[in-house]
Chains A and B, each alone.
Chain A
């Protein structure tokens, strides 16, 4: 069965950095695009970033462009999100999500990891 397990969340000061990881299992990780999606406390969902199955293309939301970097290691079945220059408004639960084999929607999600940006 598909499993996505995020880790790396925590409390960080404004301007700081954090790297999130998403360990994937139960499917051929190297065949699927992957996403990061976040949800601020009590708010809706916001797409953050996407990486193609082979890492050849990456896309970012305007709100994180230039500060966040998505990457993957297909040999380790792991997705990453490097977050730099963090702001209070980046406080959220961060989910990784797998691309559907049928179309570019998100068919499996992890349980999320909480990032809190606060002094």
Chain B
């Protein structure tokens, strides 16, 4: 089974900050990596797929990069609507989520 590890688990930031979340896979997953955003009491929302492809309708301040075993999600300028929990997900072999990164207000 492929394990996904995100860091940090919690991130405190201010509006306008550049934010980076890291996701590591226990083995190579090529570029089969997605990112989701989840707000309390709501279903997750797809942000990025294939490591760096932006889902339709997602603001361009979100970007993804990486391949193999190391990936990053970057929010270029944090907006009030972006305070949420973010999950990475591999889909190279079945599907596995990371444990999540909560982005909270500093």
Using a CB–CB cutoff of 8 Å, the interface residues on chain A facing chain B are 35, 44-47, 50, 59, 61-62, 95, 100, 102-107, 109-112
Range of interface residues on chain B?
20 to 34
A20 to B97, CA, bound (A): 22
Interface-lining segment among B13-21, B74-82, B86-94: B86-94
What is the minimal beta-carbon distance from A38 to any residue of chain B, in angstroms? 11
Taking A47-B95, A105-B34 as given, write out 15 further A-B residue pairs in contact, using a Cβ cutoff of 8 Å, ordered by the A residue number.
Answer: A44-B87, A44-B98, A50-B94, A50-B95, A59-B94, A62-B1, A95-B43, A102-B49, A103-B32, A103-B50, A104-B91, A105-B91, A106-B36, A110-B43, A111-B42
In the complex, whether B8 has a CB less than 8 A from a CB of chain A is: no
CB < 8 Å neighbour of A105 from B38, B46, B94, B99: B46
- B18 to chain A: closest CB distance in Å? 25
A110 to B42 Cα, complex, angstroms: 9
Number of A-B residue pairs having CB atoms within 8 Å of each other in the complex: 54
Q: Whose C-beta in chain A lies nearest to the C-beta of B43?
A: A109
User: What are 9 A-B contacts with C-beta separation under 8 Å?
Assistant: A44-B99, A45-B44, A45-B100, A47-B97, A62-B1, A100-B49, A103-B50, A103-B91, A105-B34
Chain B residue contacts of A110, Cβ below 8 A? 43
Residues of A within 8 A of B94 (CB): 47, 50, 59, 61
Whether A105 and B97, one on each chain, are in contact in the complex, defined by CB atoms closer than 8 angstroms, is no
CB distance from A35 to the nearest CB of B (A): 7
User: In the complex, what's the smallest C-beta–C-beta distance from B62 to chain A, in angstroms?
Assistant: 15
**B22 at interface (Cβ–Cβ under 8 A)?**
no
How far in angstroms is the closest Cβ of chain B from A1? 12
